[in-house]
Amino acid sequence: MTSDATPGRDGTFPALPLAGMRVLELSSFVAAPLGGMTLAQLGADVVRVDPIGGAPDHTRWPLAPSGTSLYWAGLNKGKRSITVDLRSGEGKKLVTRLVTESGPDGGIVLTNAVGRTWLEYEALVKHRPDLVHVRVEGHYDGTPAVDYTVNAAVGFPMVTGPEGHADPVNHVLPAWDIACGLYAALGILSADRRRRITGQGQRMTVALYDVALAMAGNLGFLAEAQVNRVVRKRLGNYLYGGFARDFATSDGGRVMVCALTARHWADLLRVTGMRDVVAALEQSLGVDFGSEDDRFEYREVLAGLLSRWFARHDLAQVRAELAGSSLLWSVYNTFTDLVGDDLIARNPMIDVIDQPGVGRHLAPGIPLALGQGPRASGLRAPVLGEHTVEVLTGTLGLSGGDVSELVRKGVVGPLPTAEELASASASTS
């Protein structure tokens, strides 16, 4: 089970791009765990070190009927797990050794742990001068923040949601955590490159708030406010600066339709039979709906006309008509629709994995497809402490007896039972 779940470090998948890289992760929640998982999915050996009993994210909702966190299982696939008493001197020494004695391709730490000075760059670099240390934090000054507070702070909830809605609309998707975790992984890979060339280590930090602020700037929202002095308003489901919107079908379905180019627009008019009506409107208004600017300006008029066609056709008819066009469109799905869709099960990124405590279910690999060489497929999350013995014997050269003694003293957590490791494959197909 172990070697199936953790290819890369044992030579099973020698062609994975990060084969050989060794990362120690002390993390919780989304950003840092996603960063570590991404490296593991690319072939790195990522060992997640947790306090005995698990970090606070180990029981985060949603939970499977067994109580196993589906969230934790999703964000820690492909890692190895060891639990350590992070408050004891011996535990700290053990983790420090896992950093320093992890070979030339190791010495890489990814963490969002707070208040553990012995885990900071300054402390660890004394033992390993070429240390690569990437810390995920809330704000650049070290004060905490979470996706919800950062999102409120940078302005997106004030432009998201139905037109005319007065109150902020939060994201359910933790978009900033996701971007932050990917930046953390980028930090590790770029520091690894520099170390490979110069021999020098690197300390980096990535703040969740800065990720959000950077994107508000990168996408032009800050400059629009500062340079143009424009206060962006809510546009509901309209696209800003072009023509795209959702439409309701006669049977209660919903589709998102994007007419971004002149060709898309011509196709949308053809499909909906609105060519002549819109041409007459263009002439009488003296505008050109072949231009994105004019389509955006008159979006409500155009949507009002087009929506009548959608309201007269059911979802199956709408699908058939749109499929024959150049338009970019999609039906709105629920997560339940998605997991019932054959297309998902056939997606080469999707595997059926058998996760202890969860059972067989659809789980994604990394959305980077490698054109040559094998794929890291079927990676599941570890059970807490699953790799304690192999990490301590493999990396530090301890004997089985040494490990038992550490377990007995409570320096490392108990090894999972056979029951905890057993498949729960009864549950789902």
**Among residues 80, 329, 392, 416, the one that binds its own copies under rule CB under 8 A:** 329
**Among residues 12, 160, 393, 423, the one that binds its own copies under rule CB under 8 A:** 160
Using the rule CB under 8 A, is 42 a contact of its own copies?
yes
**Among residues 26, 119, 150, 302, the one that binds its own copies under rule CB under 8 A:** 150
Cα angle: 399, vertex 401, 407; to 5 degrees: 110
Asked if 153 and 224 count as a contact pair (C-beta separation under 8 A), the reply is: no
Cα dist from 89 to 19, 357, 392, whole Å: 32, 33, 17
Segment contacting its own copies by CB under 8 A, of 79-87, 91-99, 139-147, 311-319: 139-147
The residue (of 1 and 350) whose beta carbon lies closer to its own copies is 350
Using the rule CB under 8 A, is 127 a contact of its own copies?
no
Least distance between its own copies and beta carbon 390 (Å): 24
The residue (of 286 and 348) whose beta carbon lies closer to its own copies is 348
Scan residues 395-414 and list those touching its own copies (CB under 8 A). none
The residue (of 89 and 162) whose beta carbon lies closer to its own copies is 162
Least distance between its own copies and beta carbon 266 (Å): 16
**Among residues 124, 156, 354, 415, the one that binds its own copies under rule CB under 8 A:** 156
Cα dist from 94 to 28, 98, 247, 401, whole Å: 20, 6, 59, 16
The residue (of 16 and 403) whose beta carbon lies closer to its own copies is 16
Cα dist from 337 to 6, 177, 255, 277, 331, whole Å: 31, 25, 14, 36, 10
Cα dist from 413 to 85, 400, 407, 423, whole Å: 7, 15, 6, 21
The residue (of 223 and 301) whose beta carbon lies closer to its own copies is 223
CA 339 to chain centre: 18
Cα angle: 301, vertex 303, 308; to 5 degrees: 110
**Among residues 123, 274, 281, 331, the one that binds its own copies under rule CB under 8 A:** 331
Using the rule CB under 8 A, is 65 a contact of its own copies?
yes
Segment contacting its own copies by CB under 8 A, of 92-100, 274-282, 325-333, 408-416: 325-333
By three-state DSSP, how is residue 109 classified? strand
Site string for its own copies, 96-115 (x = CB under 8 A): --------------------
**Among residues 5, 23, 37, 406, the one that binds its own copies under rule CB under 8 A:** 37
Asked if 86 and 12 count as a contact pair (C-beta separation under 8 A), the reply is: no
Report residue 276 as tokens: 């002549």
Scan residues 72-91 and list those touching its own copies (CB under 8 A). 73-75, 77
Distance from C-alpha of 46 to C-alpha of 21, rounded to nearest angstrom: 8
Concatenated DSSP letters of 252-270:
S-EEEEEE-SHHHHHHHHH
The candidate with the shortest Cα–Cα distance to 83, out of 419, 384, 417, is: 384
Report residue 326 as tokens: 């150049």
Cβ contacts of residue 86 below 8 Å, gap of 6+?
26, 49, 51, 92, 95, 116
Which residues are tagged catalytic?
A: 177
Using the rule CB under 8 A, is 173 a contact of its own copies?
yes
Scan residues 337-396 and list those touching its own copies (CB under 8 A). 337-339, 344, 347-350, 358-359, 361-373
Least distance between its own copies and beta carbon 401 (Å): 36
Scan residues 204-243 and list those touching its own copies (CB under 8 A). 204-207, 210-211, 213-232, 235-237, 239-242
Using the rule CB under 8 A, is 178 a contact of its own copies?
yes
Scan residues 182-201 and list those touching its own copies (CB under 8 A). 182-187, 189-194, 196-197
The candidate with the shortest Cα–Cα distance to 54, out of 35, 72, 71, 77, is: 72
Segment contacting its own copies by CB under 8 A, of 60-68, 267-275, 383-391, 411-419: 60-68
The residue (of 230 and 320) whose beta carbon lies closer to its own copies is 230
The residue (of 224 and 282) whose beta carbon lies closer to its own copies is 224
Residue 45, exposed/middle/buried by CB under 10 A (0-12, 13-18, 19+)? buried
Q: DSSP label at 354?
A: E
The residue (of 263 and 275) whose beta carbon lies closer to its own copies is 263
Cβ contacts of residue 424 below 8 Å, gap of 6+?
64, 66, 354, 355, 356, 357, 358, 359
Q: DSSP label at 172?
A: S
Using the rule CB under 8 A, is 161 a contact of its own copies?
yes
